[in-house]
Amino acid sequence: MKILVCDPIAQEGIDYLKKYAEVDVKLKQKPEELLAIVGDYDALVVRSETKIPAAAIEKGRRLQVIGRAGSGVDNIDVAAATQRGIVVVNAPTGNTIAAAEHSLAMMLALARHIPQACSKLRSGVWDRSSYMGTELRNKTLGVVGLGNVGSEVARRAQGFQMRIVGYDPFISPEYARNLGVEPLPLEELVKVSDFITFHLPLNDSTRGMIGEKQIATMKPSVRLINCARGGLIDETALSQAVKEGKIAGAAVDVFTKEPATDNPLLDCDRIIVTPHLGASTAEAQVSVAIDVAEQIVMVLEG
């Protein structure tokens, strides 16, 4: 058996795979390079950087399994893999706490203007008056998506004494209420929330779910946090709304196109941006690497 690791994963995951198969680690491959070698492997391991399109799956004549060391699989053509009988696995819970904590960190940074104040002070300017913040206590937090990460965000936000409302068409109202979350339709949630955090996969039903129309109904004081997937929010509409003062700010960890070096969200000081760091903790990386490695071995061993 031969396994190709296309993106960086924790060494613990690679060591686990090496007990059962020959493992090659080849990072930052161009699409044409991957197409040239994919036919030699029984399994692929990716994170979010490498795309596995139908063309690569077609060339992968030996492929039995594709593993994503993380929660989403939107960088893998799952339909093409399924058609070929190739199993697609992922590690949906390994980075749950890391993503939840990063979302809360972004919310706090937004509320208190931490990155902007830090940058100003480092430039040699002592400026307190420009960075009046807002407390989280008694504010309404809208959680869009109450799966693994969204649920953990909701649990932790209760410690800030926030009112928490949530939208998720796939969970029951009883589950939400047991979590301390008041279920609301999306159109109502965006109207009443002071902070809105997104925790959904990217698919045909969620792509562009927040655009100019939805933003127009929000409070001028609202702040948006997206540590889930780029593409959930119309980036141009969000940037324009913050620049024009229609909403107070945003914090974004994920982008429609990554690496995001030319993006409208990078042009506004009131939008906090990080380079897809939601799962970037040492603990999460070990967890997702081992989770996906175990699943790949299970498939290869039948």
Q: Select which of 47, 113, 199, 276 is catalytic.
A: 276
Edge-first strand order for the sheet with 182-183 is 182-183, 163-167, 140-144, 195-198, 223-226, 249-252, 271-273
Residue 66 CA to residue 299 CA, distance in Å, equals: 10
Neighbours of 178 (CB within 10 A): 9
Domains of the chain: 2-92+281-300 (3.40.50.720), 96-273 (3.40.50.720)
Edge-first strand order for the sheet with 43-46 is 22-25, 2-5, 43-46, 65-68, 87-90
pLDDT digits (tens, 9 = 90+) for 135-170: 999 999 999 999 999 999 999 999 999 999 999 999
Q: Provide, rounded to the nearest whole percent, the portion of the chain with pLDDT above 90.
A: 98
Q: Select which of 101, 223, 229, 235 is catalytic.
A: 229
pLDDT of 199 over the 90 cut:
yes
Reply yes or no on whether 135 is catalytic: no
Reply yes or no on whether 229 is catalytic: yes
Query: What is the pTM assigned to this prediction?
Result: 0.88
pLDDT digits (tens, 9 = 90+) for 58-107: 999 999 999 999 888 989 999 999 999 999 999 989 999 999 999 999 99
CA dihedral (205, 231, 90, 197) in degrees, to 10, reads: -90
* Exposed/middle/buried for residue 208 (C-beta within 10 Å: 0-12, 13-18, 19+): middle
Q: Select which of 49, 188, 258, 294 is catalytic.
A: 258
Name residue 293's amino acid: A
* Residue pair 56/78 in contact by the 8 Å Cβ criterion: no
* Residue pair 232/200 in contact by the 8 Å Cβ criterion: yes
What is the pLDDT of the chain when averaged over all its residues?
Answer: 97
- What tokens does 289 get? 């690497």
What is the pLDDT, as a whole number, of residue 43?
98
What is the pLDDT, as a whole number, of residue 72?
80
Q: How confident is the model at residue 206 (pLDDT cuts 50, 70, 90)?
A: very high
- What tokens does 170 get? 């796939």
